[in-house]
Structure 1
C-alpha cells in the first residue's frame, strides 16, 4: 500500500520544523547576552566617549601641563569620575600623574556642586608643591564641565582642612 503525502502532512511538517528551529535559538536579543531574574533581557547602555583636558606635571613639580585624552563612560553622571580616573595615568611619558596614588571613590553632581570622595594611598602623598598642583589639576579638570559650579573634595568621606596636610582646601572650591 502506497502512502500519499497531502498538503496536511506538508503543512504539519513545516510547522514542526519552524517550532524546532525557534526553540533552538536560546540567546536573548541583546548585545551583552545578559538577563535579569525570570530570563528577561537587560539592555546595557552604549558606551560614550568624550575628549577632555587633563593636567599633569613634570619632574620639577612647578607647573601643570595640559593634555587631551578620551574618556569612556556609560551614564552622563559617570563622566566626572572617568575624567578624574584619567588623571591617574599620563598619556605623555615625560609628565607625572599627580593622582597616581589616589583612588577616586565617587564623583556626584547635585545642583551644580560636584562632590568628589577620594582616598590617598601612602605612596600617593605629595609635598606642598605636589599637593597644590594636585588640587589645581582636579579643579581644572572638573571646571571644564560647564554644569559644575563648585567642587567639594572629601577625603575618605570627610571634609578635611587639607588633603595631605600642606595646602588649605576650600569648602567648596568655587569657579573663578
Structure 2
C-alpha cells in the first residue's frame, strides 16, 4: 500500500515538473500597443503578426503607381494601375486595411507606392465619404508626388461600393492642399483626378 501511494505521489510530482518546465520554456508574446486611430502605420514599432490571423478574407482592388509612367512621363499611360489582392479584415476596418496595403511596396518592378513614407493617422467613413487623416510632418513633394498619393488613396477606397469620395485631412483638419499643388478642401471623386 505504501509503495502504491509513493508511486502515485512520485508520478504526480514528475508530471507537475514537466508541466512547469513546458510553461517556463515558452517565450512571452509581446502585444502591440493599441492604435490611436482606425488606421495604423507600420512605423509604430515592431508588430508581431499572427501566422494565422483571425478575420474575414476579402478580395479588394488596390491601386499602385505605374513606374513606367513615372520614368517616361508619357501622358498616354495610366498614373496608377490596379492590382487585386486578398486581405484579412479583423480588428481594423476594411478601409484601414486597404490604406495599410497600399503603403507597402508591391512585388515586381512595374509598380511602386507613393505612400511609403506617409503616416496615416486614421480613416472613418460616413455618408459614402471616407475621411482619411494624414500626419502633416511627412507631407512634402512635388506635384507628381502629390498627384500619385491622391490617385492611390482615392482610387483604392472608391473601389468599395460604400464609398463615392474621399475627404483628405491633415492632422485632423481640412487643408487647401496636401503638398501645395492640388486642392483637397472638398471630397475627391475618381473623376476629379482626371480619368
Measured against the shorter chain, the TM-score band is 0.5 to 0.7
The reply on whether 1:25 has 2:19 as its aligned counterpart is yes
Could you say which residue in structure 1 is the equivalent of 2:106? 90
2:142 to 126, 129, 135: 126
The reply on whether 1:53 has 2:68 as its aligned counterpart is no
Q: Give the direction of change, closer, same or farther, for the CA distance of 1:142–1:32 in structure 2 (3 Å limit).
A: farther
| Structure ranking higher in strand proportion | 1
Asked if 2 retains the 8 angstrom alpha-carbon contact of 1:101 and 1:124, the reply is no
Alpha-carbon shift at residue 93 of structure 1 (Å): 1.0
Note the aligned Cα RMSD (angstroms): 3.7
Unmatched 5+ stretches in structure 1: 1-5, 37-43
Residue aligned with 2:119, SS: strand
Q: How does 1:11-160 map to 2 (within 5 A)?
A: 11=5, 13-18=7-12, 20-22=14-16, 24-26=18-20, 34=29, 46-48=53-55, 49-55=57-63, 56-57=65-66, 58-59=69-70, 60=73, 62=75, 63=78, 64-72=80-88, 74-77=90-93, 79-88=94-103, 89-109=105-125, 112-119=128-135, 124-127=140-143, 129-148=144-163, 150-160=165-175
TM-score (normalised: structure 1): 0.65
Structure number with greater Rg is 1
Q: In structure 2, what is the Cα distance between the partners aligned to 1:141 and 1:99? A: 12
Asked if 2 retains the 8 angstrom alpha-carbon contact of 1:101 and 1:120, the reply is no
Alpha-carbon shift at residue 130 of structure 1 (Å): 4.1
Alpha-carbon shift at residue 103 of structure 1 (Å): 1.7
TM-score (normalised: structure 2): 0.60
Asked if 2 retains the 8 angstrom alpha-carbon contact of 1:106 and 1:116, the reply is yes
Q: Of the two structures, which has the highest relative contact order with CA contacts closer than 8 Å and spacing of 6 or more?
A: 2
